[in-house]
Structure 1
């Protein structure tokens, strides 16, 4: 397969205090005080209805070419916007993006930007899902004794407080529930209802084996300060709860809230943490950075503020193709996190989520990354490289597989009770031929389209230029249909070398994923 990626823009640990948002035309006159305020971030959050207008102003007229062979036809601003709109028709997740996040994207190189890739889908980059994917690959619903509480491990539970986030990640493992409905997914949200919360608290209080709670969603950033206080103090009051953590991406996408004097979220978190410390209980914040470009001076100030007030912050990353799947980029991210007192905790193998095959990596990638990263950081700043097992097996170190052959990894989870501890769990690599097959399909469609053009049009001077014919993706697949519903052409149909060399082939220095796969002994 082809290898392509974002701009891995390496920086030193020292972070300049620049007004980076002024590169975005809409915000070139916005002051530091205004941009860093949480009120500004909320007021100017971009949803689908505002996305076209934003892109129209932020994008250059012509884009830098992509290393992804599937994106070679996207050359202009209008090409890009059209492809985004088509991608959203197939996406499980809605669009919700903060100004802080949008200002970190390099819009000159938007096609391969590692931040854009995580949040804004391009139809041309999408690949067919592997067979058997579900909207709840981790079987959280099956492990929920009451709505919004996942009790998989004997001593731990996950409290889903809300279904709203400050931004929506394309690769969200809870795409079945998080955010508004999309064209492909009718959501089953867990709304922040006190009635529902009370059922959760009652279950936790009755089950004295539970010592550890993850307060998540959605995102705890979308809890009002009084709700954060209510949940935190209620958990602290339960004798057998020894520790809990709030899960939030807020520090990565709207960090100014932490130091905003007009917002009480951070002061409430600090107060809960201090209460816990006095009781001998640990309260922490788990956040989510995936790329070093997401860390800037506003992030640093926010992280330092929490550190100065004794709040423990840990990070969980997801390994994503083209975003952070080389050990240099991941190493830079981990060093930057350590430099602002955020402990790298987990690096996750990407879950088997619908609609994101373009972002998944084979297990080999994370196994090799573990080897390269280990020893470059202090042990307590070295994350665990884990896979959350499909079928409800929980988190396991990626390297603890029972077998891994031809893209199929088998795991067991003997620490789980009952049948779960005895069964075998399977994780599947992405199809190593997916990009080549997609190129073949598109070339086949192109040839069919050419065959339907009247001969007189072809013969007319200047009336037909094959290299500029737009592939008829709309005709080939209904907007809301699954990519996998398209029938591939026979595998023996050749792809003309000229087409590959001029339109579909990545730059000469791009190492193909086929070569990587062969070298690693995979497919």
Structure 2
């Protein structure tokens, strides 16, 4: 099965969606307004994971548009990506890491996406000439790793992925290369049916320079037999797999669900890496959990886990850096810069007086 065929089979209209999930006339009219602003795309595999009889199904909430997206409060660039862009499609926020926006396409468009401004839309933010990015990285020897993101880079052709890896492998000071992808979650057949892709990963993920896949399982029900098989093939191709979860209201804002997720990830060979606070992105804020509630959820989750399961950090990816939410004492909440754009902030611990409904550091 070709990649183009798999991507062509996705559901991207409300009429198509209605064949899977019955919608009222009013719902259809409202959702048309939503996808007119931010397109819908859902792989048929991912759609099959929804419990059609449950309007509050967590998978449905993540991938099916809702009228809550008509709320335009928030911002489209909450992490300061524009100010860290060094050339079209390349960001350099932290000294050690270069971020490449390789595409604006995904197999499924998550409704909570923090790059809602570009994913699925015509965009001038995606890399135009990969060689220019490679030259920039060569000239900046402080860069130890590259994160290829998007959109989803595994929606690119296998031939293109090989080209990227060939060019990056020319750079001696790179220690590892990451792909940020949700393909193991949303379209595992992309991995299961492409022996060439796996062969390329095995060729370029070598003992002194590994390839990492950073994926995003948010709910235990995403860990299906197909997803497990895809992860297994990646691991057998010398690829290391980490996971970033987003804390989402109505999806995984429950310690038992998160603990089950982390335990299952460890069981299949995926390392929990971050749990991200959902960002205050326009048309996404309905997914946010207040920070004090989020901290309590994470604390209770970790109490149920062993050392491997609780390795993740609870993080806000703010324009000033990655801020870890580390604790609460009395009426104050404590934070630490895990990464910082300003060198003076690196490792800095600070506190704020608790505000009950605050969902982002700027709310304090």
- TM normalised by structure 2 equals 0.87
Query: Counterparts of 1:224-235 in structure 2 under 5 Å?
Result: 224-235=157-168
CA distance in 2, matches of 1:238, 1:416: 24
Relative to structure 1, the CA distance from residue 217 to residue 429 in structure 2 (aligned partners, 3 Å threshold; closer, same or farther) is: farther
Match of 1:315 in 2: 243
The residue that corresponds to 2:39 in the other structure is: 94
| Cα separation, partners in 2 of 1:308 and 1:412, compared to 1, 3 Å | closer
Shift of 1:361: 0.6
User: Closer, same or farther in 2 for the Cα pair 1:425/1:418, shift >3 Å?
Assistant: farther
Match of 1:517 in 2: none
Which one of the candidate residues 4, 8, 17 is aligned to 1:54? 17
Check the 8 A contact 1:402/1:412 in 2, yes or no. Answer: no
| Cross-structure match for 2:190 | 257
Q: In the aligned structure 2, how far is the partner of 1:376 from the partner of 1:120?
A: 31
Aligned residues: 359
Q: Which residue number corresponds to residue 363 of structure 1?
A: 291
Q: Which runs of 5+ in 1 are unaligned?
A: 1-33, 61-75, 181-186, 433-521
**Could you say which residue in structure 2 is the equivalent of 1:353?**
281
User: Which one of 177, 200, 203 corresponds to residue 268 of structure 1?
Assistant: 200
* Aligned counterparts of 1:293 and 1:115: Cα–Cα separation in 2: 8
Q: Distance in 2 between matches of 1:363 and 1:337?
A: 24
Q: Contact 1:321/1:360 (CA < 8 Å) preserved in 2?
A: yes
Provide closer, same or farther for how the CA distance between residues 96 and 430 of structure 1 changes in structure 2, counting only shifts above 3 A: farther
- Give the alignment partner of residue 298 of structure 1, picking from 202, 223, 226: 226
Give the SS at the match of 2:179: strand
Q: Secondary structure at 2:326's aligned position in 1?
A: helix
| Helix, strand or coil at the partner of 2:146 | strand
> Structure 2 vs 1, CA of residues 364 and 236 (structure 1 numbering), >3 Å: closer, same or farther?
same
State the distance in 1 between where 2:167 and 2:65 align.
40
Distance verdict in 2 for CA 1:401–1:128, change over 3 Å: farther
1:318-350 deviation digits (Å, cap 9, x = unpaired): 110000000111111112222221111111000
* Contact 2:217–2:243 (Cα < 8 Å) also in 1: yes
Q: Is the 8 A contact 2:40 2:65 kept in 1?
A: no
Q: Give how far 1:314 is off.
A: 0.9
Structure 1 residues 349 and 414: CA distance shift in structure 2, 3 A: closer
String of CA shifts for 1:8-46, please: whole Å, max 9, x gaps. xxxxxxxxxxxxxxxxxxxxxxxxxx7xx7565323111
Which structure has the bigger radius of gyration?
1
SS in 2 for 1:348: strand
**Per-residue deviation, 1:383:** 4.2
**In structure 2, do the counterparts of structure 1 residues 256 and 189 end up closer, same or farther at CA, with 3 Å as the change threshold?**
same
Say if 1:430 and 1:222 are closer, same or farther in 2 by CA, change over 3 A.
farther
Shift in Å at residue 236 of structure 1?
2.1
Of the three residues 111, 117, 123, the one matched with 2:61 is 117
Q: Quick one: distance in 1 between partners of 2:159 and 2:242? A: 23
Instruction: For residues 145-167 of structure 1, give each alpha carbon's deviation from its aligned partner in whole angstroms, at most 9, with x where no partner exists.
Output: 22211111111221211221111
Paired residue for 1:465? none
Matches within 5 A, 1:190-269: 190-191=125-126, 193=128, 195=129, 197-261=130-194, 264-269=196-201
Q: TM-score, normalized by length of structure 1? A: 0.62
Distance 1:410 1:306 in 2: 35
- 1:320-359 pair list within 5 angstroms: 320-359=248-287
More RCO (CA 8 Å, sep 6+) = 1
SS in 1 for 2:141: coil
Q: Would you say the 8 A contact 1:126–1:355 is kept in 2?
A: yes
Gaps of 5+ in 2: none
